[in-house]
Structure 1
């Protein structure tokens, strides 16, 4: 059996998104950059699972004097910290260049989320799709609403009766009691 391949790879320019999403920008501006990063990670955990994307959140080393690192958050999300002196833009561009062949052979989409215009033009040149920070925010919201509707629907259809919440063995015993069989 071949390993599962998600439908798309989503590369996210982390600081670009933080700087353009009002709630995250406010936190960054109050010297709560780590909190803003954690919130963006949490948002992308849910989004990548709902959309079935392999999401790679990229933060450049502008705030860290350490070697690059990769942190696997879930099967759908990993966080990449670039090497000192490397920008998220160059990391994303190299990733798009490397993913170019898998886009063709695996018919797998590569999407880059950033509102950096120069970055947009470069990644589109590599065959990737581009998504603005605003578009990503709207899609995140849409995915969250879809999840809430599905959960609400499951609750309504799971049955109004307490018996539906019981395990199979308990349901059988209850059925026997109703029929007068002990």
Structure 2
């Protein structure tokens, strides 16, 4: 039997407000920088864990149809007019749970945690997610250090065929 895929739904602005580094950026009128930093951190987390990550930002007071796009491998969503991030997360929980995914919702909004739990999702508080992201970053740094100290290099010459290597070398030297 195939294992259920893991999906993480993140209430973007809730996490920004809860994580000290991001909240400090927000408080200094750098909300866009806080969003970008959150997305960078979650992209590393996604790369390490293999989870599919959706980051939902509340845009219910902004006119329009909302927007969804990919950044790194994250799915970034801005809600449509008159839809809150909580409502969007609830809708996604329902849709994704019926497709047999393991769904985790990252928010410190207690009401949202209970609603998501009622939809079959598992909750992850902002602090728990921050701890997991920090742990993954530490594991990535450790792996990089190990690779550096063991002189393990990921070089192209290990995988390139000798004919291609010769042509590249000729091009580098300016030969035809």
Q: Would you say same fold, with TM above 0.5?
A: yes
Q: For residues 30-78 of structure 1, give each alpha carbon's deviation from its aligned partner in whole angstroms, at most 9, with x where no partner exists.
A: 1111111111111111111111111000001146333210010133x11
- Unmatched runs of 5 consecutive residues or more in structure 2: 163-176
Contact 1:18 1:36 in 2 (8 A): yes
Cα deviation code 1:84-139 (max 9, x no counterpart): 11100000000001111222xxxx31100000001111111111110000000000
State the match for 1:69 in structure 2.
67
Q: Give the Cα–Cα distance (whole angstroms) in 2 for the partners of residues 66 and 155 of structure 1.
A: 49
Task: Give me the CA root mean square deviation.
Answer: 2.2
Distance 1:100 1:66, change over 3 A: same
Residues in 2 aligned to 1:49 and 1:166: alpha-carbon distance in whole angstroms:
22
**1:167 corresponds to 2:157:** yes
What is residue 114 of structure 1 aligned with on the other side? 107
Contact residue 6 and residue 53 of structure 1 kept, 8 A = no
CA distance in 2, matches of 1:145, 1:9: 22
Q: Contact 2:15 / 2:126 at 8 angstroms: preserved in 1? A: yes
Pairing partner for 2:33 from 32, 35, 43: 35
SS of the residue corresponding to residue 99 of structure 2 reads helix
CA contact (8 A) 1:17 1:133 kept: yes
Q: Mark the runs of 5 or more structure 1 residues left unpaired by the alignment.
A: 170-182
Cα distance in structure 1, aligned partners of 2:98 and 2:63: 33
Runs of 4+ residues deviating >6 angstroms? none
1:153 offset after TM fit, Å? 1.4
Indicate which of 115, 119, 134 corresponds to 1:141.
134
Find the counterpart in structure 2 of residue 25 from structure 1.
Answer: 23
In the alignment, the residues of structure 2 paired with residue 166 and residue 94 of structure 1 have an alpha-carbon distance, to the nearest angstrom, of 45
* Separation (CA, whole Å) in 2 of partners of 1:113 and 1:69: 20
Q: When the two structures are aligned, how many residues end up with a matched partner?
A: 157
TM-score, normalising length from structure 1? 0.79
Q: Which has the larger radius of gyration?
A: 1
- 1:94: which partner in 2? 91
Provide the TM-score with structure 2 as the length reference. Answer: 0.81
